[in-house]
Amino acid sequence: MNGYLLTFFTQQDRKHAGKPLAEWLLQLARDLNLRGATLVPATEGYGHGRRVHSAHFFELADQPLEVVLAVSEDECELLFQRLRDEGVKLFYVKAPIEFGTLGES
């Protein structure tokens, strides 16, 4: 199947609708019946403001996070429409991919 690999970049302390943004994105993916999403914590990174964000032993609020999904074109349009409707401000990468499942179920 052809579609897109979506990667959303955020950090632990960003919230939307009263929830951490990364968790909210995972729940949105489930609500939209997307095939899956993965939350990837990072040790360190920096964004457009050039400020370094990192995970510290005592303070994880600034920890960078990625939410990664493989979606069809229709699923991508549905997801992005919901993000626009919700007014979510979020950096993303969208790359065309081929995806599928190998082996028996």
Does 103 map to a domain?
no
Total-model pTM: 0.84
Counting the structural domains of the chain, the total is: 1
User: Is position 39 within any domain?
Assistant: yes
86 within some domain: yes
The model's confidence at residue 61, banded by pLDDT at 50, 70 and 90, is low
CATH value at residue 85: 3.30.70.120
- Mean of pLDDT values over 41-53: 64
Residue 101 · residue 1 · CB < 8 Å: no
Q: Which domain holds residue 13?
A: 2-98
Determine, yes or no, domain membership for 105: no
Whose CA is closest to 61, among 92, 9, 33, 20? 20
Q: Is residue 85 part of a domain?
A: yes
pLDDT tier at 51, thresholds 50, 70, 90: low
User: What integer is the mean pLDDT of 66-88?
Assistant: 98
C-beta of residue 4 within 8 angstroms of C-beta of residue 68: no
pLDDT at 54: 59
